[in-house]
Structure 1
Amino acid sequence: MTTNASDPGKNDIFKIFRDRFFSMGRIASYPWAFVEKELISSNSTEVISQILNQTCCHPLCSDFPPSAQYRRLFLSELIKQEQEASHCDPSDRLYDALAQVIGAAETSHCYKSYFLPGGGAVTLQENVAVISEGTTGLVTWEAALHLAEWALENQQYFTNRSVLELGSGAGFTGITICCSLAPSSFIFSDCHPKVLHKLSENIALNQLDPQVVQVEELDWSCVTEEQLRAVGADTVMAADVVYDPVVVEMLVSLLCRIFAISSPDVFICSTVRNTDTYRGFVQRLEHVGILHEVLSGPVRRIFPYNRESQIEIIKLYKK
């Protein structure tokens, strides 16, 4: 029996390999049991060829590859799987793919790509290190992926609307919305110079319409009501900005100023890493008269990320 690429079940598995490879998911999280089963039952390396087509030999990998170290680890595991299942030397194509990355130089940045349900992909240049340049804003966090999935299911808050994103970071959520939901305008914002530079690069990389998008430096500690009025957002959103008590205080103060001048739909998505910090954020909102409602998370799983993390989306209201 050979691997049938037209089999919907198998195509779903190959899609998992593609999605996790380009988002640099954990190597252990791949469906390796499927590979072992196919190699043993089919007595063919066609499954390896199909996986290579969706990963290292995918056209996207030529222009926007994951880090060289990640590709080496992935291919090494693929070689191990083939050797253990078939008890023979790996295919020439697999070794050729490994040879191309063996000598590749390591860099401080890499590309991650996330495939959209309507076709195409969001590609970001991110820093390899989680913390670099004195900020965590140069990588994509789980809450950004979670909020993007939710936005794709709740397009009424984004389509043909003016949107302001607070703490845009590498830009994933906003770029996904701009690519898929056609906001009338979208303002990406952050305060760290390196983040703003990387954000602008990622917006250009994804060829967003400059007539629709803007990148603004927005310091929560000193932004004025006049600046916020000029933005005139119908929707305000943020992902993974509740992580430090000092930041929380500035965020709540900013939200008070936003609600003082208008009544936008406001959504905050947070990975709850420290329950005390998150509880403090909610209590501070209540103290200043901002109500909140916990929303149901996205139904459809589109992007690969850790589903075991506690992630919460809340909608805020002015009392």
Structure 2
Amino acid sequence: MELSEQKQKTDILRDFQASFFAMSRLVSFPWTFLEKDLESNKSSELISDILKQTCLHSLSQKFPPSVRYRKLFLSELIKREAAGCEPLDELYDALAEVVGAEDTTECYKSYLLPCGDAVSLQESVALISEGTTGLVTWEAALYLAEWALDHRHTFTGRTVLELGSGVGLSGITICRSCSPDRYVFSDCHPRVLQTLRDNVRLNGLTEDTSPMVSVQEMDWTSTTEEQIRRIGVDTVIAADVVYDPDVVESLVELLSLILSCSSPDVFICSTVRNPETYGGFKQQLESAGISHDVMTAAVSHVFPYNRVSTIEMIKLYR
């Protein structure tokens, strides 16, 4: 095999692996390459390699995607294999294993970092669960994590406070890749906080590690100046916190409090689902004497997710 073909195959295998562990929509996988390979080689070698990098990979044994997702993925592989080559026993063995497994309301998603490590998270299989949207990873959190990987100096050696941390993707990525001195995850929903604590531990982060990590309950309506000063924050981040007009006012009041206590770098990343809600947020920032700059530089594409939505990153200052 020529070097360029080998590189293409390596890239395709990584695409399959990254998409599988992030539980990406199956239509987004590079099926066309697989179909062309089966057509030209009449061999199940590539399917075998894909299987080793997905369902049979040690990461899948430790942090498996949902049973339903693995069934659907294996069914798609079998569909292609049936049309192009001899049956692959290990493929049917893998399907038999998940067919006999019981599905649950929670699963694991793993996001592969450029260094080769993975951030593995326990998430809900439902977008809304237990009255909150905080038990899944949203696009803005993935975008913020990618931005952080491109701007590591913003976090290196600093104390970072994250508002509305959810299941922890952005923060864990920053802790694993950007060398902050201290990182404070925060949220207010009890179930989200429990999942967040579990995910932080799952990824080997504790108050005794470097960086020093803590998970704090933070109600935006009652956070005090003393609480903010105690943290001693240098950088503040938040992803997908501007989605409900009812919470925007308390968010702006908290941001105003944070900016009055010290002069941290403050970054808010939002998926603009409702322009009216997002515009209202910016208006309230202006009324509170808080200015913003839109960060326009492109980010490196690290994680697989839907990039059709409008995502905006802003930096706040007085």
Q: Same fold (TM over 0.5)?
A: yes
Q: Is the 8 A contact 1:225 1:257 kept in 2?
A: yes
Could you list the per-position Cα deviations for residues 10-59 of structure 1 after superposition, in whole angstroms to 9, with x for gaps in the alignment? 10010000000000000111011111000010111101001101100111
Aligned to 1:208: 205
Q: Is the 8 A contact 1:71 1:101 kept in 2?
A: yes
CA drift of 1:288 comes to 1.0
Could you list the per-position Cα deviations for residues 122-178 of structure 1 after superposition, in whole angstroms to 9, with x for gaps in the alignment? 000011111111111111001000000000111111010000000000000000000
- In the alignment, does 2:179 pair up with 1:182? yes
Q: Mark the CA change 1:100 to 1:297 in structure 2 (over 3 Å): closer, same or farther.
A: farther
- Partner letter of residue 282 of structure 1? K
SS of equivalent to 1:7 = helix
1:19-30 equivalent positions in 2, closer than 5 A: 19-30=18-29
Q: Is the 8 A contact 1:150 1:297 kept in 2?
A: no
Q: Is the 8 A contact 2:68 2:103 kept in 1?
A: yes
Between the aligned partners of 1:297 and 1:190, the Cα distance in structure 2 is 29
Aligned to 2:194: 197
Aligned length: 315
Gapped runs of 5+ residues in structure 1?
Answer: none
Aligned to 1:296: 296
Q: Is the 8 A contact 1:189 1:215 kept in 2?
A: yes
CA drift of 1:93 comes to 1.3
SS of equivalent to 2:238 = strand
SS of equivalent to 2:305 = coil
Between the aligned partners of 1:165 and 1:245, the Cα distance in structure 2 is 20
Q: Which moved more, 1:57-66 or 1:298-307?
A: 298-307
Between the aligned partners of 1:61 and 1:296, the Cα distance in structure 2 is 36
Structure 1 segments of 4+ aligned residues over 6 angstroms from their partners: 2-6
- Partner letter of residue 308 of structure 2? E
Gapped runs of 5+ residues in structure 2?
Answer: none
Q: Mark the CA change 1:155 to 1:30 in structure 2 (over 3 Å): closer, same or farther.
A: same
- Partner letter of residue 266 of structure 1? V
Q: Is the 8 A contact 2:206 2:214 kept in 1?
A: no
Aligned to 1:280: 280
1:1-319 equivalent positions in 2, closer than 5 A: 7-86=6-85, 90-211=87-208, 212-318=212-318
CA drift of 1:119 comes to 2.1
Could you list the per-position Cα deviations for residues 188-238 of structure 1 after superposition, in whole angstroms to 9, with x for gaps in the alignment? 000011111000000000001423000000000011111111111000000
CA drift of 1:308 comes to 1.0
RMSD: 1.5
Q: Is the 8 A contact 1:148 1:177 kept in 2?
A: yes
Between the aligned partners of 2:252 and 2:270, the Cα distance in structure 1 is 14
Aligned-pair identity in percent equals 60
- Partner letter of residue 218 of structure 1? M
Between the aligned partners of 2:134 and 2:199, the Cα distance in structure 1 is 13
Q: Is the 8 A contact 1:3 1:38 kept in 2?
A: no
Between the aligned partners of 1:125 and 1:3, the Cα distance in structure 2 is 40
CA drift of 1:296 comes to 2.4
Report the TM-score when normalising by structure 2.
0.96
CA drift of 1:103 comes to 1.1
Report the TM-score when normalising by structure 1.
0.96
